[in-house]
Amino acid sequence: MSLADDLTREYAPSEPQHQLMVERRRLPRRVWVGAAIVFVYILVAVFAPLLAPYDPLALDPLHALEDPSWAHPIGTDELGRDVLSRLIFAARVDLLVGFLGALLPAIVGTALGAIGAYRGGWRDALTMRTADVVQAFPTYILIIALVFALGQGLTSILVAFTIIAWVAYARLIRSEILRLRGLDYVEAARAAGLPTRRILWLHVFPNAVGQTLVYLPSDIVIATLGLAALSFLGLGVRPPTPEWGAMIAAGQPFIRDQWWLSTVPGVVVVGFGLGLSLIGEGIEEWTRR
């Protein structure tokens, strides 16, 4: 702690130390900005069929690689499909994999980590050793290998993400539980004879989950970018499914004359990522104070 902290602490009226329960303070503004952005993306994904002017899979080779116009605001791709419509429908794929690709590992990892941390013993050791081996692997290389083994497609990708990403959540929840377990109020609950599971659920969990919530938004970004990268490499979604990363790849050969084909999907990805990052940073600020 710096001198400044000590000094301002000395001079500030003493505030009760809310170490455990998260106070009901106002969420920082950036959370709302981020949430608004993400909400727009979700709306686009959900209402894609209504919003997209064309069928994203409709081929029209006679009108391939057209410049942006009123009919096609972002032009057409190399097979004559409307880029805007593909962009809109791609939101479904990217958001789905993005959210699930973070949520599934979160559930699995938190469950494994919590059981290991609270019960200890061989459960904990096994979980942690497995985590070490998985972590020793370069994440995406393992994903590539797994997707290769399981066959291309979204299911394989989600399975692969889950197998890799649970580790972070397990470690997060584990360190939080271990930290909280020693605190007085848990001791009190135990002394009062509450069964383990109740203690875990009612007391320890709600507080431990805080860190996980901070991490989730950035993990969603990672999952989305992961899918985009895999698709860019040709190892992600199967064509002709529209996906932002795949669209960037498809546009690369035409970068000289139809530069928007690769550029625009990237901007869309960055927008989504920014919205989520704002939420993540905001939550972190909120839980830190």
Q: Which residues of this protein are in contact with other proteins, per CB under 8 A?
A: 1-5, 7-8, 10-13, 132-133, 136-142, 144-151, 221, 225, 228-229, 232-235, 245, 248-249, 251-252, 255-256, 259, 262-263, 265-266, 269-270, 272-274, 277, 281
User: Can you list the alpha helix ranges (DSSP code H) found in 151-183?
Assistant: 154-181
Q: How far is the CB of 22 from other proteins (least distance, A)?
A: 22
Contact present, 214 and 287 (Cβ < 8 Å): yes
Classify residue 71 by its DSSP letter: S
Closest to other proteins by CB, 201 or 259? 259
95, 69, 33, 37: which is closest to 242 by C-alpha?
Answer: 95
What's the CA gap between 136 and 84, in Å, rounded? 41
Q: How far is the CB of 231 from other proteins (least distance, A)?
A: 10
Q: Is 92 left (phi over 0), alpha (psi -120 to 50) or beta?
A: alpha
The single-letter code of the amino acid at 155 is T
Q: How far is the CB of 238 from other proteins (least distance, A)?
A: 13
CB atoms within 10 A of CB 217: 25
Q: How far is the CB of 202 from other proteins (least distance, A)?
A: 33
Closest to other proteins by CB, 136 or 191? 136
Which residues are CB-contacts of 154 (< 8 A; sequence separation ≥ 6)?
93, 96, 97, 237
Residue 82: phi and psi, rounded to 5, are -70, 125
Q: How far is the CB of 254 from other proteins (least distance, A)?
A: 11
User: Can you list the alpha helix ranges (DSSP code H) found in 192-243?
Assistant: 196-198, 205-233
Pair of tokens at residue 113:
């980590």
Q: How far is the CB of 6 from other proteins (least distance, A)?
A: 9
Pair of tokens at residue 130:
């497995």
Q: How far is the CB of 266 from other proteins (least distance, A)?
A: 4
Pair of tokens at residue 85:
């419509």
Q: How far is the CB of 62 from other proteins (least distance, A)?
A: 27
Contact present, 60 and 80 (Cβ < 8 Å): yes
Residue with tokens 């970018």, as numbered in its chain: 225
